Structure 1
Amino acid sequence: MQKKPLETLLNEGRRKIQVTDDELTEAKRRRSLLTACMRRAFPGSTCYFNGSVAHGDANTPLTDVDLGVILASADAEGYGPEGKDALSLMERARDAIRADLEDEFPNLTVEVVGRRRAVLVRFGAPVTKGQQDFTADVMTAIPHPTGVGLYIPNNKIAARWDRADPVSHTLMVHKAIKDTNLVFARVVRLLKHWNSTHSKPLCSWNIKALALGCIDTPMTLIEALQLFFTYGTEQLEEGPTPDPAGVAGDIPLGLPITDVCKRLRTAKNYIDLAIDHETAGRPLSAQHALHQVLPEIIPDIDPADAEAAAEEEAARLVQSVAMTGSAASGLGLVTPRVTSTRAWAP
């Protein structure tokens, strides 16, 4: 088995999961079709793009796309927390989508009933081969009276509307991608994959919101992962992540905050260990440690290399005893194995 630097392993891993050009092209085409529907249904409105496709960090398989429409003043009048809810607007969007797209997508369904924020469009035709379907969330929003952010529907609360600023979110992400020479988008892809294989402690937006607070210059992917898990652990130990735009409330978590912190902290420890191993010239041990964080895209060491890995670990223990008088060093005591594990404590 060829010994590869951590950065090579991470770049190979993120290429495995990043969205393909064909997926992206078709997703954007369908989003454009929906944009035309909304402009016809709401003359004078402004459409905006949000989510992974708009942010440039989509992974494969690609299963959905997001579109928002900001109503012009004439259509927005009378709606909001002190006025009407968004149901009639969502029904208007639904009717326009059905009228315009049913011919091309005969299995199209468009749902409004029971939807919290957005009209759910099911195309009845996947973008990625092997997937069951491809969907879109189409959100009807109205300008906030202050001119900062929007009111977006929330049919699950008494006020029926939430304040948010998804347009600023997308601009922030685009700036971060430019400022980091694409590293931001690439590490977010890896982090979303980590998240999906470790019980989804964070939503995608929480990952990006935390990354916005720490990944703002060009760096290697392994450095970005180390920085994210260090920063994320510190921030969430203080409480939930606030909205980077300063408009909406705290970002909800997928698990209790103590469990989220545990997963972040354990991932950080494995990343630290991988870097330490690589720095000390132990590439097999470094790869094994990184595999614990991203088990499905970073291969574990080959069984044929187990003996060499054990020799690396033995050398590390000898060095540890010589330097500290003790062989105890937490995660570093684990002899490299060839079975996948999760990078969090049970």
Structure 2
Amino acid sequence: MKEKSLKQLLEKARHEIEVTDDELAEAKRRRQLLAGALGRAFPGSTVYFNGSVAHGDANSPLTDVDLGAKLSPGDAQGFGPDGNDALPLMERARDAIREDLAKEFPKLTVEVAGRRRAVLVRFGDPVTAGQPDFTADVMTAIPHPSGKGLFIPNMEIADKWDRADPITHTEMVLDAIDRTENTFARTVRLLKHWNCTHSKPLCSWNIKALALECITTPMPLAEALQAFFTHAAQELKSGQTDDPAGVADLIPLNLPISEVRKRLDTARDYIDLAMEHENENRPLSAQHVLSKVFPEIVPDADPTQEEAARLRRDVIVTGSAASGLGLAGPRVTTTRAWAL
């Protein structure tokens, strides 16, 4: 088998996980049906799209979609931290969605009771073959009095509403994709896969928020990954990530911050080492190390003969050999990083 460069390995890996055209088209069609129902329920509202489909970084299998309605001042009247909670608005959205979609999707369920933020739509019909279902989170949001961002429901806190700015978030992500000539979206796809295979230390939005600060120009994927892991590990030394829109609270982590930083540090060290091996013309060693970061989408390689040849050259040139296979250093082990 012909040896592959890091560029080739990462391109193949990101193609392997990216959403298919058919999945994406069907998800967008269903999202548009929901948008029509929201528009009918709340005339004068602005329907917005957010989440991975809107951001252009969805992976397969595709299991959900996100959207919301920014209500008109008239529909928002009487709601907010100083007024009513979002339950009547969510019920209004639920009824419109049922009326508009139930005929096409006979197994459709639309849930409001017990929901923290959004109406949960279960289509009873997956977009990706083999998946149990396809769902949607549908938000009923109201304008913030400042004109910056929204109040979105949070039924689990005393005020019943949180500040957020999902519209600006989507604009920021799409701008980053454009400025980086798609490097941003392609890197985020890989990072979301890394996250899922290493205990999910970060939520998807935290990945994107950190990436917005360090992936700002077109660059090779290996360099983009290196930039992200280096930046993220450094930024989390001072605490959780700020909302890039300057509206919402700090972005919560899924694990203690010390554990998150360990995973970021380990991934950074592996990417650094893979690039070092490639620069020294050891492609199998580079692939072996990269597979530790992406164990399911970058196949492992056996670098034994390649490294043995390097050791022999080192003995001839210097009279001594470096330790191991060139895969172990002061910060890196040869075992899979943070396996589940």
Please state which band the TM-score falls in when normalised by the shorter chain: over 0.9
Paired position in structure 1 for 2:328: 333
Identity of aligned residues (%): 65
How many residues in Structure 1 have an aligned counterpart in Structure 2? 336
Quote the Cα distance in structure 2 between the aligned partners of 1:220 and 1:152. 37
Partner of 2:149 in structure 1?
Answer: 149
In 2, the alpha carbon distance for the partners of 1:316 and 1:16 equals 37
Contact 1:201 1:254 in 2 (8 A): yes
Give 1:329 deviation, angstroms: 9.0
**Equivalent residue letter for 2:305:** A
Partner of 1:163: 163
Please state how far the C-alpha of 1:73 moved relative to its aligned partner.
0.7
Offset at 1:247?
0.4
Kept after mapping to 2: 8 A contact 1:127/1:134:
yes
Residue equivalent to 1:342: 336
Note if contact 2:198-2:339 (Cα within 8 Å) is conserved in structure 1. no
Q: Quick check: 1:274–1:289 contact (8 Å CA) kept in 2?
A: yes
Tell me the CA shift for residue 308 of structure 1. Answer: 1.9
Equivalent position of 2:186 in the other structure:
186
Following superposition, the deviation at residue 332 of structure 1 comes to 2.7
> What is the alpha-carbon distance in structure 1 between the residues aligned to residue 313 and residue 252 of structure 2?
41
Structure 2 segments unaligned to the other structure (5+ residues)? none
| Aligned match of 2:305 | 308
Question: Is this contact kept in 2: 1:290–1:298, CA < 8 A?
Answer: yes
Does the C-alpha gap of structure 1 residues 255 and 330 become closer, same or farther in structure 2, counting only changes over 3 Å?
Answer: farther
SS in 2 for 1:81: coil
In structure 2, what is the equivalent of residue 133 of structure 1? 133
SS in structure 2 of the partner of residue 4 of structure 1:
coil
Amino acid at match of 1:162: D
TM-score (norm 2): 0.94
Aligned to 2:213: 213
Cα displacement (A) at 1:238: 1.3
Give the equivalent residue in structure 2 for 1:100.
Answer: 100
Cα displacement (A) at 1:345? 8.3
Matches of 2:294 and 2:306 in 1, distance apart? 19
Which residue in 1 is equivalent to 2:288? 288
Q: Within 5 A, what are the aligned runs for 1:224-243?
A: 224-243=224-243
Q: Structure 1 residue runs of 4+, over 3 Å off?
A: 315-319, 325-331
Q: Distance in 2 between matches of 1:345 and 1:147?
A: 45
Counterparts of 2:120 and 2:251, CA distance in 1: 22
| Aligned CA distance change for structure 1 residues 43 and 316 (closer, same or farther; 3 Å) | farther
Instruction: Output the CA distance in 2 between the equivalents of 1:326 and 1:292.
Output: 25
CA pair 329-82 structure 1, distance change in 2 beyond 3 A = farther
Q: Summarize deviations over 1:179-208 as a string: whole Å, max 9, x none.
A: 000000000000000000000000000000
Residue in 2 aligned with 1:64? 64
User: 1:94–1:111: 8 Å Cα contact kept in structure 2?
Assistant: yes
What's 1:337 paired with? Answer: none
Q: Helix, strand or coil for the counterpart of 1:213? A: helix
TM-score using structure 1 length:
0.93
Closer, same or farther: CA 200–318 of 1 in aligned 2, 3 Å: farther
Partner Cα distance (2:295, 2:313) in 1: 23
Q: Aligned with 2:184: secondary structure?
A: helix
RMSD over aligned CA atoms reads 2.1
What's the secondary structure of 1:292's corresponding residue?
helix
Alignment of 1:111-130 (within 5 A): 111-130=111-130
Conservation of the 8 A alpha-carbon contact between 1:7 and 1:220:
yes
Q: Closer, same or farther in 2 for the Cα pair 1:71/1:312, shift >3 Å?
A: farther
Shift of 1:316: 8.2
Contact 1:263 1:345 in 2 (8 A): no
In 1: Cα distance, 2:125 partner to 2:162 partner: 32
Amino acid of the structure 1 residue aligned with 2:54: A
Aligned-partner SS, 2:214: coil
